[in-house]
Structure 1
Amino acid sequence: MPERIDDLLPTAQEIQKQAALNEAVKADEFTRRLAAAEAEKQKLIDKLSKPSGLSEDEKVKLASTVIQRAVRNGLSEVQVYRFPNSLCTDRGRAINQMEAGWEKTLTGMAKEIYQLWVDYLQPRGYRIRYQIVDFPGGVPGDISIVISWGE
């Protein structure tokens, strides 16, 4: 044999070592991606927890556009927003329990939408519904905001 067997066929211990190194590289990559995703999620939550910066006119025009589009599509309600429960001071507990005063737990955009409804949509007969839309691990998750106008 022109080549040595050790050069062609590594030992089982060497293969195990190589496999362990490959797994460590994969684990490091997974951890890095997970950290990046978590940082991106936190950045989005930080942004959503602040007011939109839109003027009252811009908010009303946006609401009108969304509602008119839904009407053209034959709908009598439309989900206007979905947000993580961390934007509520109680992580959505009061909304889930339908407690009086649940709206006081809202922050950021979720609160801004509620106020827009109070100021402009409710006096015109529109209804609003905040509800938990998923329960990861059995606890409240994301919250949906639905505006409706039908029966």
Structure 2
Amino acid sequence: MPANIDDLIPNASQIQKEAALREAEKADEYVRRAAAAEAEKRALIERLSQPSGKSEEEKIQLASTIIQRAVRNGLTEVLVYRFPNTLCTDKGRAINQMEAGWETTLTGIPKEIYQLWTDYLKPRGYRIRYQVIDFPGGVPGDIGVTIAWGD
């Protein structure tokens, strides 16, 4: 038998305390990460709800690049943007219900995209579609913006 058995086999209550401390540390780390992710999400939504700061020329060039790439890939439509429903004043309800005037619920960058389409793409025969593209927990989630051309 070893000289000191307590050195080889720790006390059960001490092991339980150590395990509880490790679990508490894991829980604290989870809470910190969740809070950081939520803060990051809020900051992103705040940034997206503001104007992009791009000039009209930059917006037109970006639209042209996206459309030309899609055409080169044989597509007749392209998803140009995806955003959280919180960027709509009604959380996407009017878009989901396809109500007349749904575009008045847009804010920030989604509103800029709609205006770009109205001013430059619509007169050239392009179509635009805003639709809820996922339903987490059965409720409207993210909204996708699709630009289409052709039949």
Q: TM-score range by the shorter chain?
A: over 0.9
Secondary structure (helix, strand or coil) at the match of 1:17 reads helix
- AA at the equivalent of 1:127: R
What is the 5 A alignment of 1:60-139?
A: 60-139=60-139
What is the 5 A alignment of 1:35-54?
A: 35-54=35-54
- Deviation per CA, 1:49-87: give whole Å up to 9, x if none: 011111111111110111011000100001110001110
Pairwise CA RMSD of aligned residues? 1.0
* Aligned mates of 1:50, 1:138 — CA distance in 2: 28
- AA at the equivalent of 1:138: G
What is the 5 A alignment of 1:11-30?
A: 11-30=11-30
* Aligned mates of 2:93, 2:18 — CA distance in 1: 49
The question of 1:4 aligning with 2:17 is answered no
- Which moved further from structure 2: 53-62 or 77-86? 53-62
Query: Among the aligned pairs, what percent are the same residue?
Result: 75
Instruction: Compute the displacement of 1:7 (Å).
Output: 2.1
Instruction: Compute the displacement of 1:12 (Å).
Output: 2.3
Gaps of 5+ in 1: none
- Deviation per CA, 1:8-32: give whole Å up to 9, x if none: 2123222221111111101111111
Runs of 4+ in 1 over 6 A off after TM superposition: none
Where does residue 146 of structure 1 map in the other structure?
146
Secondary structure (helix, strand or coil) at the match of 1:79 reads strand
- AA at the equivalent of 2:98: M
- AA at the equivalent of 2:149: W
Secondary structure (helix, strand or coil) at the match of 1:147 reads strand
Secondary structure (helix, strand or coil) at the match of 2:53 reads coil
* Aligned mates of 2:108, 2:33 — CA distance in 1: 28
Secondary structure (helix, strand or coil) at the match of 2:30 reads helix
TM-score, normalised on structure 1? 0.96
Instruction: Compute the displacement of 1:105 (Å).
Output: 0.6
* Aligned mates of 1:82, 1:99 — CA distance in 2: 20
Secondary structure (helix, strand or coil) at the match of 2:99 reads coil
Secondary structure (helix, strand or coil) at the match of 1:7 reads helix
- AA at the equivalent of 2:63: A
Secondary structure (helix, strand or coil) at the match of 1:50 reads coil
- AA at the equivalent of 2:15: I
Distance 1:6 1:115, change over 3 A: same
* Aligned mates of 1:102, 1:110 — CA distance in 2: 12
